């Protein structure tokens, strides 16, 4: 989801997207009407159409924009890193931070994926493939002989761990942040004694 500008209050579109994420996570995409969404945003249902063409368009922008954000920030962090291990650590830190801040979006992505319009679904798939490959490239630099298919599987497994945030309510977020980072890095970094890449 697009982030609110730091020097301004969130735009009406950003407010609608944030509210929609919470409602869709709580009730499911099909359990929320345009009138429900408008009411939660403090506007009438028809007024919502000034900002989005349909409820489908809200879902599409929500999930496309979070995929764009994950890839853009991830790419920037890899570019700023001095090597593959630092890049992987930066990716893990970024994804854990995102997962803690956007639990509702993780639920919506998992549960309402099939409700995405076809064009948006393909855009999200393309962005997500690029994000997975960003992780896989770092893993292949770190692990000797690691093939691309296995590296992608490792990245997906790490996402599954990190994206468990909607179901891990016992720990406060700062503690959960540290636990998730430690677990992901133990799973992804080479073990002592592994052959160099």
Residue predicted with more confidence, 87 or 43: 87
Banded model confidence at residue 195, pLDDT cuts 50, 70, 90: low
Domains of the chain, each with CATH number or no CATH? 55-188 (1.10.357.10)
Spatial CA neighbour of 121 closest among 109, 132, 113, 130: 113
Counting Cβ atoms within 10 Å, is residue 7 exposed (0-12), middle (13-18) or buried (19+)? Answer: exposed
Task: Round the CA-based radius of gyration of the chain to a whole number and report it.
Answer: 18
Distance between CA atoms of residues 48 and 37, nearest Å: 8
**Max CA-CA distance within the chain?**
63
Q: What's the pTM?
A: 0.88
The predicted model gives 37-54 an average pLDDT of: 87
How wide is the angle at C-alpha 62 spanned by C-alphas 2 and 36, nearest 5°? 115
Banded model confidence at residue 197, pLDDT cuts 50, 70, 90: low
Spatial CA neighbour of 66 closest among 148, 168, 142, 163: 163
Interval 112-165: pLDDT, tens: 999 999 999 999 999 999 999 999 999 999 999 999 999 999 999 999 999 999
Q: Residue 186 pLDDT > 90, yes or no? A: yes
Q: Of the spans 38-42, 53-57, 128-132, 164-168, which averages the highest pLDDT?
A: 128-132
The mean of the pLDDT values for the chain is 91
Banded model confidence at residue 174, pLDDT cuts 50, 70, 90: very high
The one-character DSSP state at 109 is H
The predicted model gives 38-58 an average pLDDT of: 88
Confidence (pLDDT) at 5: 43
Spatial CA neighbour of 120 closest among 109, 132, 134, 111: 109
Confidence (pLDDT) at 191: 79
Neighbours of 154 (CB within 10 A): 19
The one-character DSSP state at 144 is T
Q: Which residue has the tokens 């998992």?
A: 110
Percent of the chain having pLDDT more than 90?
79
Residue 30, token pair as written in the block: 């099909």
Backbone angles phi, psi at 2, to 5 degrees: -60, 140
């Amino acid at each position: 989801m697009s982030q609110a500008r730091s020097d301004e209050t969130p735009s009406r579109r950003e407010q609608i997207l944030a509210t929609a994420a919470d409602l869709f996570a709580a009730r499911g995409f099909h359990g929320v009407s345009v009138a429900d969404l408008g009411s939660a945003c403090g506007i009438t249902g028809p007024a919502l159409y000034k900002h989005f063409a349909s409820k489908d368009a809200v879902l599409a922008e929500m999930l496309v924009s979070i995929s764009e954000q994950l890839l853009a920030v991830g790419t920037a962090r890899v570019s700023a890193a001095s090597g593959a291990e630092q890049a992987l650590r930066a990716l893990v830190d970024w994804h854990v931070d995102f997962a803690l801040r956007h639990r509702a979006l993780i639920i919506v992505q998992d549960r309402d994926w099939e409700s995405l319009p076809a064009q948006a679904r393909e855009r999200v798939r393309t962005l997500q493939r690029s994000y997975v490959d960003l992780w896989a490239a770092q893993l292949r630099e770190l692990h000797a002989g690691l093939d691309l298919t296995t590296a992608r599987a490792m990245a997906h497994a790490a996402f599954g761990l990190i994206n468990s945030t909607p179901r891990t309510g016992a720990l406060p977020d700062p503690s959960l942040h540290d636990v998730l980072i430690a677990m992901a890095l133990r799973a992804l970094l080479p073990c002592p004694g592994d052959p160099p890449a």
